[in-house]
Structure formats: C-alpha cells, structure tokens
Structure 1
Amino acid sequence: MKELLNSTLKAGVNFMKIVQIVPRLPPHTDGVGDYSIQLASQLLNAHGIATQFLVFQQGIEIEPLVAGFPATSISAYTPEAFLSVLPGNIDGIILHYSNYPYLQGKIDAPFWLPTALAMAVRQRNIKLIVMFHELPFFNFKKLKFLNPIQSFVSRRLAKIATTVVTDSARFQAVLERWLQHPVTCIPDFSTIGEPDDRIPPLSDRSRRIIVFGGSDRSRVYQNYLKALLYSCQALGIEEICDIGKSLNLQPSDFPGVRLVQMGFQPAEAVRQLLLNSLAGFIDYSRFPGDLGKSSVFAAFCAHGLVPICSCYNPSEADGLEMHKHYLVPDRSLQNLSLTQLQTVANNSNIWYKNHNIIQNTKVFASYLLE
C-alpha cells in the first residue's frame, strides 16, 4: 500500500485525503480497526481517496505506518489536542463510532468529541461522515433501552455529521428518529477479505465446520456445544476447525468428530479454509436483530459456506431470513439434502454481494466526493 501511495504521488495524480478515526488498529485486536483498514485500501484502489488514521485509545503503541497507511494517536482527550494532530490538508473525516471503546468509565462519555469535530468541520470546511457501528443500548433482562448519558453524545455526533451511516437497521431506525431524515444502512463486509476466484460448490468441499473469531466465540462452546455437535451429526461433519486465540478446548468433549485447534491464522489461510469447508457456526444471540453486523457471519456468506446460527436471530430488517440465508440446529437440519444446503449457501452469498467491500466503499466514496 505504501508503494501505491508513493507511485501515485510520483505520477502527480491528485487524490482526496481523509482521516479515519478509530479506537485501535492492528496488531491490537479490534473489529472496527480491521473494517477501517479494508475500507481504506478499497477507497485508495478504487476511488483515489487516501487515508491517514487517527487512533483514539491512549497508552498503546502505534506504528507510524499500519498496512501502509500513516497513523498517529490523540495525545489528550480535548478539542485542542485533537485539532493539533489533525492534518491540515484533508478533505474529510470518517469517524468510526462504537461508544464503548471511546469511554473511560461505565458512566462516562466523550462529551468533548462532538465539540472537537464540529470545530474541525467549521474551521477546515471539510466533510464529516459518522459511521455508527454501535448505539449505546443498556441490556436489562429482556429489555433494551438507550443509555441516556452516552446517547447524548451519539445524538450530537449524528447532528453535526455531514452524513450518517450505520450497519444495522435497528440503529438506522433510532438515528432517523433523531435526525428526522433518511439514514444510509449497509451491513458489514468480511474483514478478512473476500474470495479472489470462483467459489467452489459444497460438493467439492471437506466435511468441515468452522468456528472462528475473537474470544467471544467461547460462547459457542460454553453455551451451545450440544447444538454444535448436533449440527455436525445432522450434516455428516467430520471435523470442527477452531480458529483464533487458544481456548484450550478438550478433544474428549467432542465425541464423534475431530477437533482441530488452529490458533491465530493469517487472513489468507482463513480464507482458504473457508473455501474448503461445508459450514460455519456462530453464536450471535447477544445481538438479536443485528446479524448483518457480524463480520464473521459476513465471511461465511462471502466464501459460500452454509451459515449456522446457534438460534434464530430476528434480522429480517437487514434482509436475513432463517432457513433461507442461515440455518439453526433444529430437527429440520438432518433432513436437508446437499442441494438444499447449496441453496442456503447461494442465498447467503447473493445477500452478501449486495454489500461486499466494493459496495460498502462506494457508499462512503459517494458521500466524500459529492
């Protein structure tokens, strides 16, 4: 990526320069950071928009170049400190906002951030896109309601933004209520990348099921191990491949199926495993209605696997229907033919292509370039 930037400069090509504000960047684990790097690469390659990253979290070491893009951090949480590190020659800002990484305490909120961004937009005459990856909901038993302190900041960010984008239809409804005008919603893409070549049919794949992601995937084994094993039995799965930070799983807990613990793997290796596996298993029960936000689910769809969710997730507003785009470990699972499984894999892949990395990036580029 650095070479592409340098060659563009030497060729005298003019391109737009923006800042993407993120909580963290690799090697620090962060889904939003992974999302922003993929977005930055596609913005540069397809639209000539160059990114510089501004990292919010203090106390972590940031390399001056991350994936070939310049990166710096905020020295203090004040408007003055923010403006002092904001490059002067930029045309826009993309704020990736998920309130939790921007908090210092549970009842805290970054009240200074909207003020700083409003000053930047006014003084520099630049565009501000706020991408809401989360909204600050409280969960109490089966009730969900907005955190009044943190939602004050989210509402202010929405109101000062030139454009608001989100990846959840549930969040979209709240944001449109706040703003009284339409808000763009586009589900997440696969942050480990997408297949370069033809997606092989299920008939050419190994009888393998993939479980991967961050440490949150431990919920699969803690809460849904029986469902996972049932899925393997119903689909004739011979191997469970676990990818990610070691969870020290015991093979004796997986009777009738081979457990392979891969640990961390580079993105290319994960993509190849996905392309040669029948199904992927995910627990997203903590986020009902938000299946379209899961980059793991997106990766399953992008690579043509059969997505299996631990339970029904009411995400129809994002275009996802149970038994059409994903399956659950119920009795119907054992009665499905390979042709029917292929139909589910095809449906989920078609759903994904409507918001893959190319389509996502077009949305951001259109608002930056208009």
Structure 2
Amino acid sequence: MLMKIIFICNKFPPAIDGVGDYTFHLANNFYQLGHDVSVICAYCELVQQKVSSGCFNYNVFPIAKSWSLSDLAIIKPVINSYKPDWLLVQYVPNSFSRLAIPFEFPLLLLRIKNQDTRICITFHELYTRMVYWPFKHLISALAQRWICTKLAQVANLIVVSIDITYSLLQTRTDKPIHLIPIGSNILPFHIPDEQIVSTRNELAPNGESIISTFGNRDQDTLIQVFCKLVRKRPEVKLLICGVLRLSPEGLCLFDSLKDKIIITGHLPNRDVYRLLRSSDVFFLPDPVDSSGEGGTSTKSGSLAAALVAGLPVVGTSGHMNDKLLSQVKGLYLGDYTNPDELAYLILKAMEDKTGGKLNQEFASSFLAWEYIGKCYNDLLSK
C-alpha cells in the first residue's frame, strides 16, 4: 500500500547530523518503494541551496525556526496541503530545543495532527541521566522525562533502535514499542581491489596494520589505547576519519605518536568507505561511566559503517550492549577503563581472518536500509 509520508527532523543533509543522515536514508528508501515522500526540517542555508538546485528526489522544506508553537503557522499549512497518512518524527531532545528541553514540541505535534494523519515517533534518545547537581541538570533531566511521556501520548506508533531505550520507554507508556535497528550512514560503494591496495600503500607504505575509527568518539581514550598498542606492536597506524578533538593531556600524548596517526578531516562518504575498506580493524572507544552506563551498541551509525565495510570491531562493554549486538561475530568488547585490555583485543581482532566477512553478512541482513525500510513499511501499512 502506497502512502503519503512527511518526515520531521531537525537537521538534514548536507548539514552534518547522525539523525539527519538516518532520516535521509530512510526517506530515500520510502521514495524508492513508491511512497509520496516529503521532509520538514529546520531552516539551513546549505539545505535550501540543495532544494533550490533540485538535488532531492522529493520535497524538502527547511522551514522550522524553533520547533515551538510559533512555527505552527508555517508548518501546518504544508501538512494540510499534502494531507499525509503519516508524520514520521525523528526525536532527540537537543534537536528540537537549544537547551534540550523542547517543552512546546509535544503540543506542536498535537496541533499539526489531524483526524486523517497519524504520527510515528522514532525515539533515538529519551533523556539524560538523573543527576542532582548542578541543579539545572536535575531540572533538565526531569523536564526531558515529562516531555518524553507527553510525546509517547501523542504518538500513534512508537519506534526505538535498541533494547535499553525500549526498556526505559516502557516505564513511560503502555503503548506497543517497536524495535527497528539503525543502518549505516556510509553506504557501500564499489571499490576496485587495486584502489584498496593503492590506498593501503599510501596510508601504510611500510606494510603497517591500520586501525581506523570514525564518528564522534572519545579520542583521549583512543590515543591512550593506541599508545599501549604501539608498545606491543610498533608497526601499526591509527586512521582517524574526521577531526581531532583532544584534551590538553591527550594532545601531549598525541604529539609523541603523531608520526603514526593519520587525520583525514571531514570527507565525502565514498572516501570514508574507501578508507574503512582499506583498514584492518575498527575501534569504537564508546564511553562507559563508573556505574556501567554506556558502551557500544547497534544504535551507532559508525558501528554500522564498519560492519558494512567488513571490518572486525573492538568496542566497550556497558549497559547499552544490546541483543542484536550479540549476533555480531567479529566483535570484541572490552573494559573502557582498561587501555591494556582494549589494546589486547585490537591485536586479537587483527588476527581475525573471518570476523570482517561475517560482519558484512550481518550488516547486509539486519542493517541494510532495504530491511529497515521494510520494517517501517510493515508497521505503517497495518
């Protein structure tokens, strides 16, 4: 059954944002399935330029200013004119409010909702940890929980991506909650073997092993672990697909290792995929606090990118480790606070001759946008 669908998100490509990338790929998949697709997002000059030059296959409206009731006058006419079957809202608290407390957002959705339009909310995040000091953090955490509850009341359909979000949201609503994984924001491209060999020779001219990372990672821990790794195996290189974000202490350690570290800056997706394909191991130093909160999960688009590229992966153990993650064969999880253990696991992953291939097979089954789109399509068609 073909439907009219409007996606609602804050940032949208070419603006850099993980949820925006998710929305972009899902909207593309729905368009390819034949649905009538539109996107409403925040105003951004880069997005407006893409719209003006006709770069999108469907209508994109970069019109929202604050995601408050003051935007009702510009958002509701678009929705009324298209008469969509579904609004697909991509929710993260800090996307819809500068202070990450979007008080008016549930009411805005309620006001733009009408009798023939249903709302599906994908909760990419719910709220921050409950801390009691500073006091403003406590207020923010309480407000986010209230907003989360109100959004669940507005939604006709609720989607989350990992088990921990599912469990937490169950305390906020009696409505059914549906688990749909997150796909890679880096799609696979055809990279000829000779180009991979050429890239490896450029990155590691002396035949060094290449450890890569990508996304918003804890780079201080990354550098600490790499330092331990260099002591065990000097013939390694670290490839950071992105920019450097280190504390002063981390910069000092970086200076002693910089001849073994490659920093690419921001790159087109095709180049990121080529570099990942040219690597040996992918490392995700996902933070974990003293209570065990955090860790690697299939919520990570960076993890999905590594799996799509066919790399064995080293991550961290924490409460965010989800059931789907347990099906990833070429994955090694270690103690976030133990750089020696993480370095050992990277060495172990470097010897893994089958993990990358198994990861690629896993990604093609569970993290492909065709599969994710089908999961949504099945739910929306009921």
The alignment's TM-score, normalised by the length of structure 1, stands at 0.79
Paired position in structure 2 for 1:305: 311
2:60 is equivalent to residue 71 of structure 1: yes
2:281 is equivalent to residue 279 of structure 1: yes
Paired position in structure 2 for 1:18: 5
> Residue type of the partner of 1:135?
L
2:246 is equivalent to residue 253 of structure 1: no
**Do the aligned residues in 2 keep the contact of 1:209 with 1:280 (CA within 8 Å)?**
yes
Alpha-carbon deviations, 1:26-79, whole Å to 9, x = none? 23221111111111111112x2123211114x5756413564432221256214
> Residue type of the partner of 1:114?
P
Q: What is the deviation of 1:203?
A: 12
2:17 is equivalent to residue 30 of structure 1: yes
Aligned residue runs from structure 1 range 166-205, under 5 A: 166-195=160-189
**Do the aligned residues in 2 keep the contact of 1:189 with 1:295 (CA within 8 Å)?**
yes
Q: What is the deviation of 1:87?
A: 5.0
Alpha-carbon deviations, 1:178-202, whole Å to 9, x = none? 33244111231110113558999x9
1:358 to 340, 365, 370: 370
**Do the aligned residues in 1 keep the contact of 2:287 with 2:295 (CA within 8 Å)?**
no
1:86 to 73, 79, 89: 79
2:223 to 225, 236, 241: 225
Question: In 2 relative to 1, CA 317–246 (structure 1 residues): closer, same or farther, beyond 3 Å?
Answer: closer
**Do the aligned residues in 2 keep the contact of 1:97 with 1:134 (CA within 8 Å)?**
yes
Question: In 2 relative to 1, CA 233–345 (structure 1 residues): closer, same or farther, beyond 3 Å?
Answer: farther
Q: What is the deviation of 1:252?
A: 4.0
Paired position in structure 2 for 1:319: 324
Structure 1 residues without counterparts, runs of 5 or longer: 1-13
Paired position in structure 2 for 1:150: 144
**Do the aligned residues in 1 keep the contact of 2:184 with 2:367 (CA within 8 Å)?**
no
Paired position in structure 2 for 1:9: none
Distance in 2 separating the partners of 1:179 and 1:299: 32
Q: 1:273 aligns to what SS in structure 2?
A: helix
Question: In 2 relative to 1, CA 337–277 (structure 1 residues): closer, same or farther, beyond 3 Å?
Answer: closer
> Residue type of the partner of 1:297?
L
Question: In 2 relative to 1, CA 366–227 (structure 1 residues): closer, same or farther, beyond 3 Å?
Answer: same
**Do the aligned residues in 2 keep the contact of 1:18 with 1:94 (CA within 8 Å)?**
yes
Distance in 1 separating the partners of 2:349 and 2:103: 52
**Do the aligned residues in 2 keep the contact of 1:326 with 1:348 (CA within 8 Å)?**
no
The alignment's TM-score, normalised by the length of structure 2, stands at 0.77
Q: 1:138 aligns to what SS in structure 2?
A: coil
> Residue type of the partner of 2:356?
A
Distance in 2 separating the partners of 1:312 and 1:203: 33
2:109 is equivalent to residue 120 of structure 1: no
Question: In 2 relative to 1, CA 316–284 (structure 1 residues): closer, same or farther, beyond 3 Å?
Answer: closer
Alpha-carbon deviations, 1:292-336, whole Å to 9, x = none? 211111111111112122x42344433324986234451743773
Q: 1:43 aligns to what SS in structure 2?
A: helix
Distance in 1 separating the partners of 2:92 and 2:349: 41
Question: In 2 relative to 1, CA 302–157 (structure 1 residues): closer, same or farther, beyond 3 Å?
Answer: same
Distance in 2 separating the partners of 1:334 and 1:88: 54
Paired position in structure 1 for 2:205: none
> Residue type of the partner of 2:93?
N
Alpha-carbon deviations, 1:148-179, whole Å to 9, x = none? 21222221222221211011211111223333
**Do the aligned residues in 2 keep the contact of 1:199 with 1:275 (CA within 8 Å)?**
no
Paired position in structure 2 for 1:129: 120
Distance in 1 separating the partners of 2:193 and 2:127: 38
Question: In 2 relative to 1, CA 369–239 (structure 1 residues): closer, same or farther, beyond 3 Å?
Answer: same
Alpha-carbon deviations, 1:70-110, whole Å to 9, x = none? 2221256214443133252222111000011211335x323
Q: 2:371 aligns to what SS in structure 1?
A: helix
The aligned length equals 343
**Do the aligned residues in 2 keep the contact of 1:231 with 1:333 (CA within 8 Å)?**
no
